[in-house]
Chains A and B, each alone.
Chain A
Amino acid sequence: MLTTEQPESRGRTRFILKKMLGSLLTLVFVLVFNFVLFRIVQSDPIGSLFRGRNVPAAKIADLRTAFGLDESLWVQFWAYVRQTFQLNFGISYQSRQPVWNEIVSAIPATVALVGISAVLSALIGTVGGVIAAWRRNTWKDHAITSGTMVFYSMPDFWLGMILLVGFAVVLGWFPVGGMTDAGTSATGVALLLDRIHHIFLPALTLTLAYLGEYALVTRSSLLDVMGEDYLTVARAKGLRDVVVRNKHAVPNALLPVVTLTAINFGFVLSGAIAVEAVFSWPGLGKATADAIRGPDLPMLQGLFLLFSAAVIFFNLLADIAYAWLDPRVEGA
């Protein structure tokens, strides 16, 4: 019952605050988990650093002190938390540069690639799902459903390999990898075109790989909504079929899709690892793939923390978007 002017805004504020607190707790968990993973499970980080190499015992002992590994777990944990908040994740074994600098320099490439693909796959997948559901059991539905399922069922990097061989190696329409032509001095529009030329295939790969999930979720969500009485009411009012679909059915069916989109944004950041490796796309994914070969543990640790933080952040965003879109969300 409506008692004050806008009771829902207060309820929503409380809801969002609650979600923020939850996210903070999750972040703490990830920090602890990360510590356990890298300091305790991996019982001898220095030993694994020099795995297979002949290093004097004295040097190892020095390093142990330098890394603070002789201290108690509590002291180590406290130091770790402090360093994490100072964005100090140590030095990469491979590049000998601070991990954070390495990560920061790789972020723009990944955000561009993943951002474009995430938006495109969400848009195309949702539209496909809407068409499939609204025309259920017609040839359109069958084509969209089976097509997206096939893309959904293949390893994304394998799709990338096929596209790369087909369009870059055989046809030569696109470069085989990287973000710009080697040694290019292009600027302005030419540089932009060069970038687009390079991002096309990896972005296509990720878009195709991810749109299946959106199409399937949108389809089943819309099918759920299609049985609702308010659609019969909308039809009875004399609305066109398209208007019934776009104004009444889709806004309700999209609520779960919005959540999925936001959550996926968090996950695709890390999901592009293998695809970036295939296209030598110099982003976080390729950095991860390279770090595995070491293994460059400080780098892996930093990336893992960043990926986790991204997921937590986008989950929170998903909750906020939901609260904003669905008037029924009220703190409860």
Chain B
Amino acid sequence: MSWPVLSVKDLTITYNSSAGLVPAVRGVSFDLAVGESLGLAGESGCGKSTLANSLLRLLPEGTVTSGEVTIDGQDLFALSPGGLRAVRWTTGAIVFQGALHALNPVQTAGRQVREPMHVHETVASDDEARVRSRQLFERVGLSANLLEAYPHQLSGGQRQRVLIAMALACDPQLLIADEPTTALDLMVQAQVLALIAELREESSLSLIFITHDLSVLTCVADRLAIMYAGRIVEQGPSMDVFQNATHPYTKALAAAFPTIGDPASRKAPSGLAGDPPTPGALPSGCPFHPRCPLAEDRCRTIEPDLRSSGQGREAACVLI
């Protein structure tokens, strides 16, 4: 028996900006079973980070959300502020991108790792928190004396490991990793990936791994979901999707990454002309049609829904 730790139904997220309403996520649904790992891929601006942040209700005020998110059996959008705080970090924790300012520059790494333990009272004393943070650092491969270091004294890889240790502080059931390997060099990227794979083997951790780099996902994700313009356009078992893509966009994306972590391919994957559409001004019909090599006339008017495209697989394209 495995009920989903996370269930997302028809999630729609619209930003309310000065330029008007901007749809970032448009009707996304998926389930995540205990211990399962889902890879979420797409170019920047496709809504994958918005989706990740919405799973703990971290979006800015004024953002309009509809649909249903059930996390560990609780209706996320019906939670009281206190209930929401209790869910955060204990049920689901996020590994943020370490290259950005995800760590507070004026606090030591150790203090920031211990903080959630104190907030959620998963430790009885500060001593216990210290012991646990030392264990966490060991587990992510950091020397314990780095607990007293400030973020600027750490390398990019070390910062990313601190963020992973921090996410594990309260033993969450679900880990959401938002581009945890971006901006790391190749060696470190591989080490961080290996660490995340290890952590999954050790426990029944469920994982959502978000990246623009499809090839990275094949090592950590059981299932892949490809996002384009705020929707999932293809999903299925990760090796199947990667090696035998059905959606033209997935094909282009898979072809774009012959090697891991080629920085030049980050923004504009080769073999895929043009830029992703801006969320505020989506093209009519299938939003991918202006860049699609196989586009037909009907693609301009019809926006297809996900439909079965093989065993356990779905894609949203009129050609299927």
Number of CB contacts from chain A to chain B under 8 A: 82
The answer on a CB contact under 8 Å between B145 and A2 is yes
Question: Per DSSP, are chain A's interface residues mostly helix, strand or loop, or mixed?
Answer: helix
Q: Could you tell me which residues of chain B, from 264 to 309, have a CB within 8 Å of some CB in chain A?
A: none
- Give chain A nearest CB distance to B118 CB in angstroms: 10
Instruction: Give the B interface residue count (CB, 8 A).
Output: 34
The docked-state distance in angstroms from the alpha carbon of A207 to that of B68 is 52
A2 contacts B149, C-beta separation under 8 Å: yes
Q: Indicate whether A238 sits within 8 Å of B105 (C-beta atoms), given known contacts A2-B145, A229-B96, A232-B53.
A: no
Closest to B149 in A: A2
What's the least CB distance linking B248 to chain A, in Å?
A: 34
Contact A328 B152 (CB under 8 A): yes
Of B90, B93, B96, B166, the residue contacting A232 (CB under 8 A) is B96
Chain A: interface residue total (CB-CB under 8 A): 25
Within residues 62 to 110 of chain B, which ones have a CB less than 8 A from any CB in chain A? 85-90, 93-94, 96-97, 100-107
Binary per-residue interface labels of chain A (235-256) against chain B in the complex, 1 for a CB within 8 Å, 0 otherwise: 1111110010000100110010
How many whole Å from B141's CB to the nearest CB in chain A?
15
| Contacting residues, chain B, for A328 (C-beta < 8 A) | 105, 150, 152
Which residues in B have their C-beta under 8 angstroms from that of A1?
Answer: 153-155
B165: chain A residues at CB < 8 Å are none
B252 part of interface (Cβ distance < 8 Å) = no
B58 touches A235 (CB 8 A): yes
23 interchain pairs, CB-CB under 8 A: A1-B153, A1-B154, A2-B149, A228-B101, A230-B103, A232-B58, A232-B96, A235-B88, A236-B94, A237-B88, A237-B89, A238-B86, A238-B116, A238-B119, A239-B115, A248-B104, A251-B104, A251-B106, A252-B104, A252-B106, A255-B106, A327-B106, A328-B152
Q: Which 6 A-B pairs have the closest CB atoms?
A: A238-B88, A327-B150, A238-B85, A237-B116, A230-B104, A229-B102
Please list the residues of chain B having a beta carbon within 8 angstroms of any beta carbon in chain A. 53, 56, 58, 85-90, 93-94, 96-97, 100-107, 115-116, 119-120, 145-146, 149-150, 152-155, 166
